[in-house]
């Protein structure tokens, strides 16, 4: 097996939602394989701190604070990302919002707008701005962070699930549209991953007993395990994979509780 299979030297990766638990792991994993990282998140101070942390590990990185709820500002931010090194070869759309919990009928219009804008529309807008430049360079890789919430019904986070299901479909659509230009587009659907965002669930003993009983591996996932899959999809190791939704859930969605 060639040693360069996962090599990302000479590549530039833009990671949104970079400063969360999963985002940090994505930046570290991509950077460890040689990619230069555009660190993007709403929190400018957190972006600067992560850039410093990555730099201390020998990873070339720059900060690009961006609020994806501001659709009109995405084109300018995408241009800034491209201007850093003249290219973006890997786009990892990891940012997302859950929105309110509860029945779909109770969700307010503003919540619908926010969740769909951040989780779906902003991703399409980023792609619209960046994929032509990728195509001009001969190709690239786009990774959309979906969720197992988009694979099954939800009575608590239905709006989130709808947006994530649409995101996986967006990956398939873009894969068909941009495949002839050498651009691969895939989705990742994590299950329960040990991040600060999941802390409340992880601390709920009753929930965890039920969830782990449905999970063949009988444990939660680690951020690095999702990030490793992203590296594969971004690199030559995943060169013939496109339009796929990779489920990383320890078997939760196929478990029967036995």
Tell me which residues are annotated as active site. Answer: 160
SS (H, E, C) the chain: CCCCCCCCCCCEEEECCCCCHHHHHHHHHHHHCCCEEEECCCCHHHHHHHHHHHHHCCCCEEECCCCCCCHHHHHHHHHHHHHHHCCCCEEEECCCCCCCCECHHHCCHHHHHHHHHHHHHHHHHHHHHHHHHHHHCCCEEEEEECCHHHCCCCCCEHHHHHHHHHHHHHHHHHHHHHHHHCEEEEEEEECCECCHHHHHHHCCHHHHHHHHHCCCCCCCECHHHHHHHHHHHHCHHHCCCCCCEEEECCCHHHCCCC
């Amino acid at each position: 097996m060639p040693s360069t299979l996962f090599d990302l030297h000479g590549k530039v990766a833009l990671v949104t939602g970079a400063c969360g638990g999963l985002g940090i792991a994505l930046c570290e994993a991509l950077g460890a394989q040689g990619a230069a990282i555009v660190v993007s998140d709403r929190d400018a101070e957190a972006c600067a701190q992560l850039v410093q942390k990555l730099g201390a590990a020998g990873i070339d990185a720059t900060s690009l604070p961006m609020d994806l709820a501001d659709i009109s500002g995405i084109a300018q931010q995408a241009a800034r990302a491209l201007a850093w090194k003249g290219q973006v070869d890997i786009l990892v759309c990891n940012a997302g919002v859950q929105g309110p919990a509860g029945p779909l009928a109770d969700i307010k219009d503003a919540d619908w707008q926010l969740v769909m804008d951040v989780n779906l529309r902003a991703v399409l807008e980023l792609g619209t701005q960046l994929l032509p430049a990728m195509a001009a360079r001969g190709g690239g890789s786009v990774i959309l962070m979906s969720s197992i919430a988009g694979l099954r019904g939800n009575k608590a986070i239905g709006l989130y699930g709808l947006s994530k299901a649409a995101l996986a479909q967006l990956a398939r659509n873009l894969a068909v549209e941009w495949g002839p230009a050498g651009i691969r587009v895939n989705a990742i659907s994590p299950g329960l991953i040990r991040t600060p965002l999941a802390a409340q669930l992880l601390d709920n003993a009753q929930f965890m007993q039920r969830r782990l009983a449905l999970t063949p591996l009988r444990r939660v996932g680690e951020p690095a395990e999702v990030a490793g899959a992203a590296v594969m999809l971004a690199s030559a190791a995943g060169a013939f994979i496109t339009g796929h939704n990779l489920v990383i859930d320890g078997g939760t969605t196929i478990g029967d509780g036995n």
